[in-house]
Amino acid sequence: MSDNALTLRPHHGMCMAYFVGRGYSEAFSAHMAALLESLTPETPVGLTAGTDAVCAACPHNREGVCETADKVSGYDRAVLALCGLEEGQVLPFGSFTALVQARILAPGRRAALCGDCQWNAVCAAQTSRWA
C-alpha cells in the first residue's frame, strides 16, 4: 500500500455516506467529522480489512483489533466484491465513494450488507452524501 494513502476499511465507504454526527462517543463523532472534512476526491485511500483511520477513535478498537472483527470483516469483503476492488488496493477517495454509491447504495443493496449494524436506522433515514 502507498505510504501516503489513508487507510480505509471498505465498509466505511458506506458508513461515511450516512454519518450525521452521531456515533459511539463524542470523541469518535468529532474524529469522523474531521476526517470527512479533510478528505478530498483526490485523497489516496488504501483499502484494508483491518483497523483504519476511522477506527482510530472508536471505543471498540482494542489495541488495533475491532471487538466485532468477524462481523465488520464480512461487511468489508462484501463491499470489495460488489465494487470489484481488492484489499490493499489504493485509489482516489472520490473514485472509491463513486463505486460504493453506484454499486451498493444507489441500487439499494446497503441493508442486505449491513442491515444488522446498530446504526442501520440512522442510515436508512437519509440520503447518501455520495448521491
In this predicted structure, the answer to whether residue 2 has a pLDDT above a threshold of 70 is no
In the block, which residue shows the cell 447518501? 128
Confidence of residue 1 (pLDDT cuts 50, 70, 90): low
Identify the pLDDT of residue 6: 94
pTM given for the model: 0.93
Contact 51, 61 (CB under 8 A): yes
Listed by start position, the domains of the chain span: 6-124
32-53 average pLDDT score = 95
CB neighbours of 62 closer than 8 A, spacing ≥ 6? none
pLDDT one-digit tens code per residue, 109-122: 999 999 999 999 99
Residue 66, strand partner residues: 61
3-state secondary structure of 16: helix
In this predicted structure, the answer to whether residue 77 has a pLDDT above a threshold of 80 is yes
- Nearest in space to 105 (alpha carbons), one of 25, 18, 28, 35: 18
CA distance 131 to 128: 5
